[in-house]
Chain A
Amino acid sequence: MTNTTAENTTEEAVETAPTTPEGAKLDYIKVEDFSFNYTPEVRVLDKITMDIPEKQVTSFIGPSGCGKTTLLRNFNRMNDLIPGITHEGTIHIDGQEIFDKKLEVISLRKRIRMIFQKANPFPKSIYENVVYSLRVAGRNNKALLDEVVETSLRGAALWDEVKDRLHDSALGLSGGQMQRLSIAHAIANQPEVLLMDEPCSALDPIATAKIEELICKLKNKFTVIIVTHNMQQATRVSDQTAYFYLGKMIEMNATQEIFRNPSCEETERYISGKFG
């Protein structure tokens, strides 16, 4: 079943997403038979196989506890921090096996940036928050940093609001501004993939609309994967949608297709609000 959906995706992606630039890889992130356990008894992901296309927005939907965030956190190996985890199968990003022992996890995280559910600005100034990833990489050139701050904040649609108080504490921003700051912080070192873990779940509708608009712009430059509980959001922002249930990926397809005409009954029940 997964194979057929993957094929469908391939065809649909070409048809329904004309914004995708020429030459973009359709299997930019390739997940194969990936299983993940927190403890030997608790299996949260079971043999996931999926391809995520480059420079598109892919959304993961499904009821709570279905493993979508866990999968997301595997892409930049944030789960490494949890003791006792085990996994099987492989994940390739741009042809590179991410669990390769030779791969440095720090360099991976620089390429695959993550935006969390709750914005966690550092107790520093707005400026320092944006350039944090450059500072830890040892890039301290003032002119370069200034430039990065401006482009990143513009990229995150925050520049006009904060340009006069770049050196004020980031903790004085509103919730929506903080989340956009997180995005500015994430795109500052020009990553390849942006992982968003329910980025709007704590925001009001206006702030959510701003972020969604931003996500649609970001896909021109980055591959975006977003975990969301909001079905409307998935339809609004994403090109591809994957539905997860109890640790399995049930279905993946072009977003319009999956919402209009889901191939599995479970998907239909979930998206129509009958359960979950």
Chain B
Amino acid sequence: MTPFENSKSSKKSSGRGEPMVWFTGMWLSFGMLMIIVLLSIIVKNGFSTFWPSPVLQIELVEGSEAGLRGSSKLAGDIRKEQIRTTASETGEAVPEIQLFIGNREAYNTGFRFVMESDIKSRDFPEGIMRAERLEYGDMIGYPARLELADGSTIKSTDDSFASTLHDIVKEGNKRRHEIEHIEKDQIGAINRSMESIKMKRRGWESEEDIPEKTQKEMEEKQAELQADYEELASEAKTLRELQSANTLHYLLPTDGERSVPTGSIVDYYYPNQLNLFQRTLRFFKRVGSFVKEDPREANTEGGIFPAIFGTFVMTLLMSVAVVPFGVLAAIYLREYAKQGPIVRSVRIAVNNLAGVPSIVFGVFGLGFFVYFMGGSIDSLFFSERLPTPTFGTGGVIWASLTLALMTVPVVIVSTEEALVAVPRGVREASLAAGASKWQTIQRIVLPASLPGIITGLILAMARGAGEVAPLMLVGVVKLAPTLPLDTIAPFIHLERKFMHLGFHIYDLGFQSPDSEAAKPMVFATTLLLIGLVIALNAFAIIIRERLRRKYKTSAF
């Protein structure tokens, strides 16, 4: 055979393999497509939650079913445009739009579907205002006048209206923070002191056993605290009254006049007057407050800061627990244990542990960590508080440990793989230098396998941060009044319940009274959870790459 013939035949055989390239490539693109579509849906919907879209006002044809309160007008921002097939026999396709009309206290609904054929005219009125309120969701209407506490009235056509409203709302927001500070921090501190006196009292067998002097001291202290409390409470009360002293009166787009105390307006703007730059600014402002603020109104409004923080703290605690556990177990399994049927079956068992449904881990966590360990800690160290449990109820520590248990197989498997990958020559060189086995592991093998261990940690974190089912049993709550880390000693409160982004998504989407209204929040929270997981992973990947460069074994 001449070389020429040879090359020809090889060309032919590679030509026969060509369809497989397309076939395998197809599956990859299919997977990529699904990921891109899913991500873009989340990103689009998540971000559009914060985009201040213009408010449309429509005039309905006479006799339209969409009309509210006998009016032919409706105003709101368009949430959806769709074509609905009617239920009648003919099954006509009807184009319609969904409007978010706000003003829930007046309309009893947040949304309205309007058929295109029912719309007589559309316009974007300049003067329409949208205000974010503490109650009943957003207001959409035309400001009429401000009625101030001193009895004076400023009409919306007056020159001073805009600046007065701005100042009043700003003042109201400031005062709200003050009230919050008094109620949460100062009264909270008094409550804690009261609680500790109560606990002290319980420390004695009965009331009679308490020495008279102590008894007296405690009573004095209690009276003092009570006085402080009353003073603060009355202060908060006057502030609250001030909050509702001024009212903003406005006209609904449909009919009639309504009023809202300025103290409950969080923010307001004229959506049809904004240019692109102002819209973008407002967009970022809303993103910022979403990330920074506490939730309001059954979580459907406001921010999700406690959930972000809770997820973050839980994931960190989980990592702290899972790494030593998994790495030490893997070291024994790979370096010390005699490889044989027992080790093989242990390895299979560990791998299977990764396939156990997460809710089973939740049940185990509840039984073992919460009831058994938490209950024991309570009876040993916090017996004076019983029957109120301290550690014997769900908490961030138990949630982290449960997730650590769930993700430990991932860490064990990846650590083992990393340990195997350390070249035998390097180990031998270390042993030949008079190092003991542990010294070799500690100084040579572990540093070289750190990148692999961190890969395992990344996978564990990604799984742990997104997990919801087991957390529902061991410490996640819909609304946590406090954070697991704060400025009150001992600063880290491992026993506290916490909020979690994954659970927040479930709660908003499926447990809230108006799931339609909560939908934007669901998308925004999902986007944030994905963002948080990506951020944690990126951090771990950066560390891994650094270590990889440092400890890369020689390519001679």
A positions within 8 Å CB-CB of B: 76, 78, 81, 83, 106-107, 109-110, 113-114, 116, 118-123, 132-133, 135-137, 169, 171, 175, 178, 182, 185-186, 189, 202
1/0 per residue B430-442: CB within 8 Å of A? 1111111001000
Are B429 and A120 closer than 8 Å at their CB atoms? yes
CB neighbors of A among B492-534 (8 A): none
Q: What would 15 more interface pairs be, CB under 8 Å, given A123-B552, A123-B553, A133-B434? A: A78-B428, A120-B429, A122-B443, A122-B444, A123-B447, A123-B448, A123-B554, A136-B435, A136-B439, A169-B550, A171-B552, A178-B554, A186-B433, A189-B433, A202-B556
Contacts of A120 in B (CB 8 A): 423, 425-426, 428-429, 554
B284 at the interface (CB under 8 A from A): no
**How far does the alpha carbon of A185 sit from the alpha carbon of B443 in the complex, in Å?**
16
Given the contacts A81-B428, A120-B423, A136-B439, A109 and B556 also touching, CB distance less than 8 Å: no
How far does the Cβ of A82 sit from chain B's closest Cβ, in whole Å?
A: 11
Contacts of B431 in A (CB 8 A): 78, 81, 109
Are A178 and B432 closer than 8 Å at their CB atoms? no
Contacts of A175 in B (CB 8 A): 556
**How far does the alpha carbon of A123 sit from the alpha carbon of B428 in the complex, in Å?**
14
Contacts of B539 in A (CB 8 A): none
- Can you sample 16 A-B contacts with CB below 8 Å? A78-B431, A81-B431, A118-B556, A120-B428, A121-B554, A122-B429, A122-B444, A123-B551, A133-B435, A136-B433, A136-B436, A136-B443, A171-B552, A171-B554, A175-B556, A186-B433
CB neighbors of A among B524-550 (8 A): 550
Contacts of B444 in A (CB 8 A): 122
Are A116 and B429 closer than 8 Å at their CB atoms? yes
Are B434 and A106 closer than 8 Å at their CB atoms? yes
Q: Nearest chain-B residue to A113 (Cβ)?
A: B432
Instruction: Please tell me the number of chain B residues within 8 Å of chain A, measured between CB atoms.
Output: 24
- The 3 A-B pairs with the shortest beta carbon distances in the complex, nearest first, are A110-B434, A120-B425, A133-B433
Q: Nearest chain-B residue to A174 (Cβ)?
A: B556
**How far does the alpha carbon of A81 sit from the alpha carbon of B432 in the complex, in Å?**
11
Contacts of A78 in B (CB 8 A): 428, 431-432
B positions within 8 Å CB-CB of A: 338, 423, 425-426, 428-436, 439, 443-444, 447-448, 550-554, 556
How far does the Cβ of A179 sit from chain B's closest Cβ, in whole Å?
A: 10
Are A116 and B425 closer than 8 Å at their CB atoms? yes
Are A182 and B433 closer than 8 Å at their CB atoms? no
**How far does the alpha carbon of A121 sit from the alpha carbon of B552 in the complex, in Å?**
11
**How far does the alpha carbon of A155 sit from the alpha carbon of B82 in the complex, in Å?**
84
Are A113 and B433 closer than 8 Å at their CB atoms? yes
Q: Nearest chain-A residue to B551 (Cβ)?
A: A123
Most-contacted residue by chain B among A121, A136, A171 (CB, 10 A): A136
**How far does the alpha carbon of A110 sit from the alpha carbon of B432 in the complex, in Å?**
7
**How far does the alpha carbon of A81 sit from the alpha carbon of B430 in the complex, in Å?**
13
Given the contacts A121-B554, A123-B550, A123-B553, A182 and B436 also touching, CB distance less than 8 Å: no
Contacts of B551 in A (CB 8 A): 123
**How far does the alpha carbon of A137 sit from the alpha carbon of B430 in the complex, in Å?**
12
Most-contacted residue by chain B among A114, A122, A185 (CB, 10 A): A122
B433, B447, B553: the one within 8 Å of A185 (CB)? B433
Contacts of A118 in B (CB 8 A): 425, 556
Are B429 and A106 closer than 8 Å at their CB atoms? no
Contacts of B447 in A (CB 8 A): 123
**How far does the alpha carbon of A32 sit from the alpha carbon of B160 in the complex, in Å?**
111
**How far does the alpha carbon of A189 sit from the alpha carbon of B551 in the complex, in Å?**
25
How far does the Cβ of A129 sit from chain B's closest Cβ, in whole Å?
A: 9
Contacts of A114 in B (CB 8 A): 432
How far does the Cβ of B263 sit from chain A's closest Cβ, in whole Å?
A: 64
How far does the Cβ of B444 sit from chain A's closest Cβ, in whole Å?
A: 6
Most-contacted residue by chain A among B433, B435, B436, B556 (CB, 10 A): B433
Are B556 and A178 closer than 8 Å at their CB atoms? yes
Are A107 and B448 closer than 8 Å at their CB atoms? no
How far does the Cβ of A166 sit from chain B's closest Cβ, in whole Å?
A: 17
**How far does the alpha carbon of A123 sit from the alpha carbon of B425 in the complex, in Å?**
12
Given the contacts A122-B426, A123-B550, A182-B429, A137 and B556 also touching, CB distance less than 8 Å: no
Are B556 and A122 closer than 8 Å at their CB atoms? no
How far does the Cβ of B105 sit from chain A's closest Cβ, in whole Å?
A: 68
**How far does the alpha carbon of A109 sit from the alpha carbon of B435 in the complex, in Å?**
9
**How far does the alpha carbon of A122 sit from the alpha carbon of B422 in the complex, in Å?**
11
Contacts of A185 in B (CB 8 A): 429, 433
Are A132 and B428 closer than 8 Å at their CB atoms? no
How far does the Cβ of A132 sit from chain B's closest Cβ, in whole Å?
A: 5
Contacts of A123 in B (CB 8 A): 426, 447-448, 550-554
**How far does the alpha carbon of A159 sit from the alpha carbon of B434 in the complex, in Å?**
24
Are B428 and A109 closer than 8 Å at their CB atoms? no
Are B436 and A76 closer than 8 Å at their CB atoms? no
Contacts of B429 in A (CB 8 A): 116, 120-122, 182, 185
Contacts of B448 in A (CB 8 A): 123
Contacts of A107 in B (CB 8 A): 434
How far does the Cβ of B103 sit from chain A's closest Cβ, in whole Å?
A: 67
